[in-house]
Every structure is written in structure tokens, then in C-alpha cells.
Amino acid sequence: MKTALDIIGTVRLKGFLGARLDAMIERNVAAKDIDAITAPFLDKTETRKLWQTEFWGKWMHSAVPFLAYSGHAGLREKIERGIERILASQEEGGYIGNYPDALRFGEGWDVWGIKYTMMGLLHWYDATRSDAALAACCRLCDCLVGELGPGGRRGRELWQTGNWAGCASSSVLEPVVWLYRRTGERRYLDFAETIVRGMVEPAAGPRLVDLALRGVHAADRDGYGNNPDDNGEYVCKDSRTKAYESMSCYQGLLEYCETVGEGGSGGGAPGRSCADLFRAALLTAEDIAAEEINLAGGGACIERWFHGARKQGFPHARLQETCVTVTWMRLCQKLLRMTDDPRWADLIERAFYNAWLAALKPDGSEFASYTPLSGSRWHGMRQCFMHEDCCAANGPRGFLCFLQEVFRTEGDTATLNFYASARAEGVLPASGRRVAFDVYTLYPREETVRIACLCDGTFTLRLRIPAWCADARVQVNGETLPSPAPGAYCTVAREWRAGDVVELALPMPVVTHVANHYAAFTRGPVLLARDSRFADGDLSEPFYTDPRYGGGIADGEIRPFAPVRVPSDAMWMAFGATLPIGQHYANPEGTNPPFVSFCDYASAGNEWNRSNSYRTWLPIERGHAE
């Protein structure tokens, strides 16, 4: 069983991404006020049914692997301090949380917090083999079973607690399965099966399987046995459309399927096999990719699915929550591992280079809660009467998804999924041979990747060819290989020698996307945006359509963009083109299309103030009949 710690040491990033990761670890992960985020566990005074206890476990999910990556001494001290305080807060009956007894295991976010506490303890166990951490996690799970398992003290089922039609509480399935894997104790697998049945059987419950298998979109799953209060509030008891919580449940289902195997039962649910559970998760992820994920790789409005891919360009409220982006990346990462289908890597890459990097402040110190497609960047929220919020705690896990999948070794094959300046090394399980590569590239700012082999031996190297790249070229020691297919792996099997060089060219034409009388541009995996720092006109100027003046713009059209100088050191990349855009083209002085500049979406508005605005979807003028 591989854990995050088994994978994290195989890649050392350099260049732009390496600097951004180092800054995030130093100024965000290692800078966390550990006493503040663990204080609620010691106080146990929460009566407002809030979610303070999620913050520590989320932080641990990234802090422990990033400690392995960086060796940061101050980070180790904070992790150990947090573990000490969490263990000290555990009650004799096993409970770790912040609710008084009368409010536990019911409404609110108690079980949700227990999920993240279990995750935090298990990450520390994986890093140190701490018997105390594992024992505390076992006692906490035993407490949960005794309260909400079959015949439990609270007299209710787990899915009946918490919010969002039971999805929030049911997502505890993921660490319950982790605990079973680490202990082999059958009672934890039995409890996992109980949770799965609650996800599948009750008419008013999450209904994660049957609705998916019937082809019901993730945004349309209310009204099937439930009656949600669908008023757009931040917290809802009964709706199934909450993006973060529902995806977290599917993450747990995939962990369960992977653990019990293809022939296993679907948690004892009548007529449901693990194959059904897996297919439901896969179909839902495919639906989200098609119906919800925008050109920046994120989605959701007020944290709910809403057919957002169809509605790009419109100013929706609380668009593209960072928690949703990170959870979507984690779900894609799990599917990439289980299916070996590179389309999930394509989706991780798009989310990482756009929505995720846009949410991270350039100095690495904080995360935005929301990243609208147009407007300005702004600071995250402060939740639960704490100097903390869900996205600040969750954000670093997104970089972990990317970093863990840059380079993988399986059997006698090494795979590069993402391209960044890095040293990548590992061991091929089939032969025990160590392999290592140096990767030199400015991708995705530039189109070329140079990979230097640092080892000898016969093995296979796989290179992901993104689905957007129709004309990729691969050379080994100057010899051109057959043209690789887009959206697949290019496989190079040979006897390698230290000093061999692989050169990969990934041409990135700028592609036009048109929807709802708006247009946007992508270059490779990157969404482009106008930015006020270019000072090249009104960002709301429309594309004009009169062909007499060079107007017109079409979906899928390739536009000739060229690199331009960035107006700010905070911008990563910039490109420009002559475009039919403006207000006064009928006047002779305004006839010629102007030159307009764009930067990458992640850099757009990254001064984090309202004077630095940006826009991705640009309006197209309408005629009199429209």
C-alpha cells in the first residue's frame, strides 16, 4: 500500500514551480498557528454547530508530506506540537472533537471534523509509525462506531447526521478505509460497509450510486426522495448538489473499491457490486468534467454544482471555491491511479495551472477562497470565529496532487505525467533498478521539454501527450520517433544510457472558445486573461462582428498570438494579438483592430487589490435580431 510519503520524495522541483512550492511551505504551511487550530479540541465548547475541527486534519494532510519533501525543522516542531495537543484532548471514551456531549454525532459538522482528525492522525502514523497516533485513531473510530454504527447509542444512522443529505458525514468513509488497511481489523471494514449502504440505500440519503448509474447530472440530483431547502444558503441540510462534500464521498467509495477488490460487495447494498460503485464514481467524474469544469479547471457556484461549464462568462456568486478545486484534483488523481487514463492528468494540469495557482498569493502566504473568472483577486474568509478558513487549510493539498503525479514508477515503467524543471528519480518495482532524470523546461510558458537520462538499463519511459496537443514531436538522441497520439502516453522502451536525451515539443496554438456571446482563449493548458496592468483599453470592450472591419470570431478558431514583455514581475507569461475588439470601429479612426495583451489566468489580478482587475471571457456584440 503506497502512501503520500512513499511518493513525495521522488521529485524535486526547480524553477518557477519550485520557488512557488518553497514559498508556500515556508510562508503558509510552516507558518500555521498550531495552537489556534487545535484549541477547539481542548475547549469543547462549540454550540453553533460549526466546523473548527476540520482545519487541523486538512493541514496535516499536506504538512506531513511537505515535511518529508523539505525537511523543514520548524514544520516538524509544529506537527509534533499539534499531535501532542490532539492526543491530550482525547476523552476516555475515544472522542476527539469540540462539541459538548449533547450536540455530538448529530446536526452540524462533528462527524466531518472526525474525518479530518482521523486523516491527520493516520498521516503522522505513516510518517513515524507512531503507536500513539494509530491507537488514538482506532479509539476515535471505535467511538464513532459505538455512537452511529449498527445499534449505536445515538439511535440514528451516520448518513442522517450533518449536512448535505448525509454527504458531509458519509465522507468519513475514506479514513475508515485507510484505518482498515493499516490495522487489518475487520470491524473497520464492517463499519465501512455500513457507511457505503447509507450512501446507497436510503431514499433521502446521498444516493451516490443509483442516480449516477441512471445518468442524472451531479447538479440535478435533488428531488429524488429528498426535499431540499434550495435557497442558496452556505449550509443546507438536505441538498445533494454540494460539490466538495459529494466528491469527498466518491473519493471514499474509490478507496473502498480499491481495498475490497473488483469482486467485492458494494458494502452489502442489495444488487450493488464494487464494479457498480466504481462505475458510479467514474460516471460522476466524467459528468463533472463535461458539465461543471470551466476553462480554468475549477467549478461550482456557492460551492454547488450548477451546470457551470455552460454558463462561463456570467458573474456567478462565490465562483470556483478553492476547496472544490482541490477536491476535484484529488478525485482526478485517484482516478488516474486506478485507471491509468491520462485524461485525468489533463484535468489535474488544467486545474493546477489555472484555478489552483490563481488562488495562491504570489508570495505563497495565503489562499483566496474564490477565484472568479473575471474581476479581482481577494483574501480568503475568516470562518468559525477563527483566523482560519476551509480553503486556507485545504489549499496546500492541491500542490500535493500535482507533485505526487509528476513522476511515477510501476512495474518496469517510469512515467512523466507533468512537465516542470525538476530532478525525478525512483525505483522500478519489477527490477529494483533505480532510475533518474533531469527535466529542463519553461513549460507551459514555452513549448519544449528536455529530459536527460541519468541512469543505465533497459526499461520503459512513458510521456503524457496532452489531449489538446495535436502535433507533439518526440526525439531521442536526435532521432525523431513516430508522431504520438494526443490524449495518450508516448511509450519509449529501450536500453538507456546515462546521457541519453529526450526532447519533447508540445506546440500550443491559441484556441478560441465561444459561448453565450462571449469569447475566451486558451494556450495549451493555460487560460488567458486581459489584465489592467497592460493598460491597453477597457477590459469590457466587445469583439465586433462586422466583417467589413475585420470583425468576427469563431469557436475553435486558431489565433496568431505572440509572446510579449510582461508589465509586472509578478506575471509569469504574457502574449498578445491583433483582435477585432473595441467600441468605435465604424469611425475611420477606430477601424483597425488593436493589439491586445493577455497573461496567464493564474497571474491575472495577482496584486490582490481592487485596482488590479482582469477578464477572461470577453463579450461579443449582438445584432439587432439577437
Intervals of CATH 2.60.40.1180 along the chain: 410-505
User: Residue 503 is placed in which grid cell?
Assistant: 526532447
- Residue 591: which pLDDT band, with cuts at 50, 70 and 90? confident
CATH number for the segment(s) 410-505:
2.60.40.1180
| Torsion from C-alpha of 133, 199, 396, 308, nearest 10 degrees | -170
- Is residue 96 helix, strand or coil? coil
Which pLDDT score is estimated for 149? 96
> Exposed, middle or buried: residue 489 (CB in 10 Å: 0-12, 13-18, 19+)?
buried
Rounded to whole angstroms, how far apart are CA atoms 353 and 378?
Answer: 18
Give the type of residue at 150.
P
Give residue for cell 519544449.
448
Among 61-75, 332-346, 575-589, which is the least confidently predicted range? 575-589
pLDDT, the chain, mean: 93
The DSSP annotation for 360-402 comes to: B-TTSS-B-SB--SEE---PPP--TTSS--HHHHHTHHHHHHH
Kindly tell me if the per-residue pLDDT of 3 is higher than 70. no
Which pLDDT score is estimated for 325? 98
Which pLDDT score is estimated for 215? 97
Rounded to whole angstroms, how far apart are CA atoms 279 and 316?
Answer: 31
Which pLDDT score is estimated for 7? 53
Rounded to whole angstroms, how far apart are CA atoms 602 and 177?
Answer: 36
Which distant-in-sequence residues (6+ apart) come within 8 Å of 446 by Cβ? Answer: none
444 cis-preceded (ω within 30 degrees of 0): yes
Q: What percent of the chain has pLDDT over 70?
A: 97
> Exposed, middle or buried: residue 497 (CB in 10 Å: 0-12, 13-18, 19+)?
exposed
Beta carbons of 456 and 449 less than 8 angstroms apart: no
| Torsion from C-alpha of 604, 608, 610, 611, nearest 10 degrees | -70
Helix (H) or strand (E) holding 70: helix 54-70
Rounded to whole angstroms, how far apart are CA atoms 165 and 188?
Answer: 23
Query: Which has the closest alpha carbon to 353: 407, 402, 319, 320?
Result: 402
Which pLDDT score is estimated for 204? 95
Which pLDDT score is estimated for 1? 53
Among 98-102, 160-164, 322-326, 550-554, which is the least confidently predicted range? 550-554
Q: Alpha-carbon Rg of the chain, whole angstroms?
A: 25
Kindly tell me if the per-residue pLDDT of 198 is higher than 80. yes
Which pLDDT score is estimated for 352? 98
Which distant-in-sequence residues (6+ apart) come within 8 Å of 39 by Cβ? Answer: none
- Is residue 457 helix, strand or coil? strand
Kindly tell me if the per-residue pLDDT of 250 is higher than 90. yes
Rounded to whole angstroms, how far apart are CA atoms 22 and 134?
Answer: 30
Which strands sit side by side in the sheet containing 457-465, from one edge to the other? 407-410, 413-416, 457-465, 488-496
Rounded to whole angstroms, how far apart are CA atoms 413 and 457?
Answer: 12
Beta carbons of 20 and 432 less than 8 angstroms apart: no
- Is residue 84 helix, strand or coil? helix
pTM as predicted: 0.96
Reported as a single tens digit per residue, the pLDDT across 516-527 is 999 999 999 999
Q: Span 251-267, mean pLDDT? A: 84
User: Residue 219 is placed in which grid cell?
Assistant: 447538479
- Residue 383: which pLDDT band, with cuts at 50, 70 and 90? confident
Reported as a single tens digit per residue, the pLDDT across 349-376 is 999 999 999 999 999 999 999 999 999 9
Rounded to whole angstroms, how far apart are CA atoms 156 and 149?
Answer: 8
Which pLDDT score is estimated for 4? 53
- Residue 506: which pLDDT band, with cuts at 50, 70 and 90? very high
Kindly tell me if the per-residue pLDDT of 262 is higher than 80. no
Rounded to whole angstroms, how far apart are CA atoms 29 and 93?
Answer: 32
Beta carbons of 426 and 378 less than 8 angstroms apart: no
The DSSP annotation for 268-325 comes to: T-TT-BHHHHHHHHHHHHHHHHHHT--TTS---BTTB---GGGGTTS--TTBSBHHHH
Kindly tell me if the per-residue pLDDT of 32 is higher than 90. yes
User: Residue 467 is placed in which grid cell?
Assistant: 489531449
